[in-house]
Chains A and B, each alone.
Chain A
Amino acid sequence: MKKILSFVLLILVSSMILGGMTNPAQAQTDPYILLKIAKHAQKQLENQINQDSSDKIKQLFKDGAQQIKALEESLKNNEIDLAKQHFLSAMRIFKEVSQQLSINQSSPAEIATLKATAEDPSADLLRMQNYVDNLKIIAKKYNTSVNFSDIDNLFVTAKKQIIDRQFDDALQTISKIKQITVDFNNKIREYASQQEQSRAKEYAQKYLEQLDRLIENAKNKGLSEDIIQKLETARENLSSATNPHEIIKQVREIISIKEQFELTKNDRLESRVMQIEKILFTLSNSDKLSQSDLEDAKKTLQTIKHHLSQGEFETANELLRSLATLLEQFQD
């Protein structure tokens, strides 16, 4: 018996330690990437250093190049830790070289390039394009009547203006795009708010179900009448709430009562039940799960809920795990 116990303990502890070690093991750097980055930086800086560059810059660059040679050597010898150190040193030096170059070199050509970058609204346009693309997906989801053709034309115009280096005109076009986007955003949110109402009610209904189980469990365990009364009042308030903000407020109120009387220990199981219900709903609309399997899963879920209401959390947890594992197979 002692040996069995020790063995089980050993397995549990080992599995926990090994489980914790998995992530760092996955996150290992490919050392050749480091060489690639460092050499790329070296090449760029090499092009920028000229005869007029200060001795300090030239010396720093030499030091950086030396570190890259050492990095290559380390990689040849498979000394990965040393290679990492050389990489970081090289990059630290190249950063300083860049800063020094930035201070010392401000040739008219470079200043002109920087000015052009500052004036060029390409990034602003790209940001708006990505935002509008996101809105398009959502608008489609809600079957809105929002027409994006005008704004699409404005994007084309702005792109052309940027290519022709008419940055002021492009900025004006982007400004128009932003105005239209604000209107679109408001319209889409109106559509979304209508559906949010029904989603909120659906959520409240699910929450009420789990609250009923909590109240039943509280009664079974003989909790004080005062606590049960508070939960029942909160239940009434939630069931009469209609708009999303009111529903959220009432649920927060219930959470506060649960925390006050330490009734939150089965919340994680209830969260899992909600997740499983969603998976079942999705699977019920597919042919992946046979009708009889689906019915069995639903029955198991009811059994789990019953166990939760009776305070039999361990049994509920075990059943939840088995059901989740089973459904995961069908999901993939």
Chain B
Amino acid sequence: MNLELVPAYREESIREDGMLFVRTDGILETMVKAPLILAGLIIVAVVIPLQTSFSSTRTLELVIYSDGSTHISTQIDVDPLEPDFELDLFGKSIDNFVAVGDAGFLLSEEIVEDKAIIDTLGSSSIVIDYDIHDLISKEGRVWTFSFDSPSDYTLLMPKNSVIVGISGLPNNMEIVDEQTKLDLTSGLSEINYIFGAPINPTTHKPTILDESLFNYVNVVVIVGIVVAAVIGGGVLMLKRKQQKSLSSIIQTESVSEKQIETKSIDTETIFSFRPEMRDDDKEIVKFISNNGGQALESELRKKFLQPRTTMWRAVKRLERLGVIEIDKKDLQNLVKLKKDLEEEK
């Protein structure tokens, strides 16, 4: 029994005033059922993560083609208890719809207007790809992308396109294979673009950044000179020892240079056989090659700071090109460079 929660103040106040008033200093004990609220909050706190676990968009990636159509790729967590999942499409003009469930199984679907009913049959995560023709309009030379997104998403603009109008603020921007990639937040966005000269990211460094960099460089140079002077003496003292070890360092360097050369020849061979390979995929191949010909997919994600699905797609692209093969190692994808590339060509 909890004696401290007995409403003692209420009885007291009734006796004093003869009326049913509640004193404010005893309000928690008299009006509020603290244990009930506590229990309620605990239940809410416990239930919230479960509620958000099901039917939520994990990733959403959009790619705009040069003719104004858009490719949508999304990964959605769905309730495994439900037999099907109703997906709101972003328009009615849909092509090339593919829904894949757990373990890469193709899922049946029925598209009615702007909805797709997907037979998930116990899948807890689905990946959906489709092309849509409803998101972009064109007036004169100006193309307008208009999209009301339920979640944050990435948008890959077409090659040679230049953004000349944007209604919101992007979170990030990068150049991928000569294409602008934007990270945008949920909600309505409108982006106007035209086709212009190819993008050269090196020519668009913000001047303010240069100035701040200049200040940093000044400081670094001054500090560097001082540090160099201090360690200069030490360097002279160690000169003899260094001369001895220098020969071995040179030898080691020449060996590693040879190794790199060999590896680069390998990657160059791959690139010559697969000229259609994207530049960002080439970087992945180079990394795997330098990593002894194999790397875990998680390592690639960490190295290239890519989300899970983006890297998965890149790896799948390379697999389709016959450049790599995917093995399983401790439940993880081990990506290996293939040795029989020429045979497959």
Contact = CB atoms under 8 A, between A and B. Distances in A.
Interface of A: 1-2, 5-6, 8-9, 12-13, 15-16, 19, 27-30, 32-37, 39-41, 43-45, 47-48, 72, 75-76, 84, 87-88, 91-92, 94-95, 97-99, 101-103, 110, 113-114, 117-118, 120, 122-124, 126-128, 130-131, 133-138, 141-142, 188-189, 192-193, 195-196, 199-200, 202-203, 206-207, 210, 244, 247-248, 251-252, 267-272, 274-275, 278, 282-283, 286-288, 317, 321, 331
A123 B68 CA distance: 9
A9 B206 contact: no
B331 A331 contact: yes
Interface of B: 2, 4-5, 28-29, 34-35, 37-38, 41-42, 44-48, 50-51, 53-54, 65-67, 69, 71, 79-81, 83-84, 95-96, 98, 100, 102, 104-108, 119, 121-122, 124, 129, 131, 139-142, 152, 158, 162-167, 169-173, 185, 192, 194-197, 199, 204, 206-209, 211, 316-317, 320, 330-331
A241 to B, nearest CB: 11
Contacts of B53: 271-272, 275
Contact of A244 (B42, B95, B121, B131): B121
B2 A1 contact: yes
Contacts, number: 235
B152 A27 contact: yes
A131 B81 contact: no
A322 to B, nearest CB: 13
A332 to B, nearest CB: 9
B165 A94 contact: yes
Most chain A C-beta atoms within 10 Å of own C-beta, residue among B48, B65, B195, B316: B65
B316 A192 contact: no
A199 B172 CA distance: 41
Given A40-B199, A44-B164, A32 B206 contact: yes
B51 A102 contact: no
Nearest to B207: A72
Nearest to B212: A76
The prevalent SS among residues of B at the interface is mixed
A235 B171 CA distance: 50
Contacts of A136: 320
8 contacts: A1-B2, A9-B38, A72-B207, A75-B206, A137-B316, A202-B122, A203-B122, A269-B50
B208 A28 contact: no
A196 B34 contact: no
Contacts of A19: 48
Contacts of B194: 44, 98, 102
A247 B119 CA distance: 11
Most chain B C-beta atoms within 10 Å of own C-beta, residue among A118, A196, A199: A199
A171 to B, nearest CB: 13
B331 A286 contact: yes
Contacts of A126: 65
B173 A114 contact: no
A288 B330 CA distance: 7
A288 B170 CA distance: 41
Nearest to B120: A203
Q: Lowest 6 A-B CB distances belong to which pairs?
A: A95-B165, A102-B140, A123-B67, A203-B122, A123-B65, A192-B106
B206 A127 contact: no
Given A13-B41, A76-B208, A252-B83, A94 B164 contact: yes
Contacts of A200: 119, 121
